Amino acid sequence: DQQVKQNSPSLSVQEGRISILNCDYTNSMFDYFLWYKKYPAEGPTFLISISSIKDKNEDGRFTVFLNKSAKHLSLHIVPSQPGDSAVYFCAASARVRSGGSNYKLTFGKGTLLTVNP
Amino acid sequence: DSGVTQTPKHLITATGQRVTLRCSPRSGDLSVYWYQQSLDQGLQFLIQYYNGEERAKGNILERFSAQQFPDLHSELNLSSLELGDSALYFCASSTQGFTGELFFGEGSRLTVL
């Protein structure tokens, strides 16, 4: 049962244009949504997050939009740069049980973004 | 550099063998998570420890086990290895008040021949 889905395995855009990466989820108990970026031979690194009580969060060139009714989130990168070429993972967290750090993070399969110069 | 250290970086072994992967979390982080990334798969959550105690379990096989030691480093033990266990194994740590931000190590690539 895949609770976090990234239906596009890859995306190619031109430098300077907008990149839009999409993610769908099924579990309404998720309370935070995150995007991670992964370069080859490195571990994933946190990029941006959004709480389930918000619908938009912006950080520089990166904006995440959340549509709770559609159980959909997206990451917009404007303008896209060649250095943004990486695999982007959508993730969602839910509390496993109360107290302490008891959150479980569920990842999608990732989308390979290629930004062409 | 995330501050999370994983060893070994690469490991090649044969079916039926047992291996141990090691992880040192960021200084001050009490939680350690293990994830598996196989070909064409996302990051599959295996198990979480918090200050030495198991806190959450994911899709971890019975042939796999983990523990977190008093110095907070963690080990993932994989036994009776099969070809399908070939994957990247990531360790991550997080701070208290966790909202989803994990700090990942560079991973241990396991190849089972």
pLDDT per residue over A42-81, tens digit each?
Answer: 999 999 999 999 999 999 999 999 999 999 999 999 999 9
Q: Give me the pLDDT at residue B98, please.
A: 62
Mean pLDDT value of segment B27-52: 89
Three-state DSSP class for B42?
coil
Q: Tell me which range, A56-65, A102-111, B28-37, B88-97, is most confidently predicted by mean pLDDT.
A: A56-65
Structure tokens, B49: 């420890």
Scanning B66-107, the segments in alpha helix (DSSP H) are none
Structure tokens, B40: 């064409």
Q: Do B55 and A43 touch (CB under 8 A)?
A: no
With cut-offs at 50, 70 and 90, classify the pLDDT of residue B55. Answer: confident
DSSP-assigned letter for residue A109: -
Q: Give me the pLDDT at residue A95, please.
A: 75
Tokens 């997080």 sit at which residue? B94
Q: A112 at the B interface (CB within 8 A)?
A: no
Residue in A111, A112, A80, A103 with CA at minimum distance from that of residue A33? A103
Q: How far is B9 from chain A (nearest CA, A)?
A: 10
What burial class does residue A45 get, using C-beta atoms within 10 Å of its C-beta: 0-12 exposed, 13-18 middle, 19+ buried? Answer: middle
Q: Give me the pLDDT at residue A98, please.
A: 55
Angstrom distance (rounded) from CA B74 to CA A111 = 30
Angstrom distance (rounded) from CA A3 to CA A10 = 20
Q: A98 at the B interface (CB within 8 A)?
A: no
Q: Do B48 and A42 touch (CB under 8 A)?
A: no
Q: Do B103 and A46 touch (CB under 8 A)?
A: yes
Three-state DSSP class for B60?
coil
Structure tokens, B98: 């966790």
Angstrom distance (rounded) from CA B28 to CA A70 = 38
Q: Give me the pLDDT at residue A19, please.
A: 98
Of the candidates A42, A44, A102, the beta carbon closest to that of B56 is on A102
Q: Determine if the peptide bond prior to B25 is cis (ω within 30°).
A: no
The number of angstroms, rounded, from the C-alpha of A95 to the middle of its chain's C-alpha atoms is: 19
Contact A22, A6 (CB under 8 A): yes
On chain A, the residues whose CB falls within 8 A of the CB of B103 are: 46
Nearest Cα residue in chain A from B94? A101
Q: Do A34 and B92 touch (CB under 8 A)?
A: no
Whether residue A84 has pLDDT greater than 80: yes
Whether residue B1 has pLDDT greater than 90: no
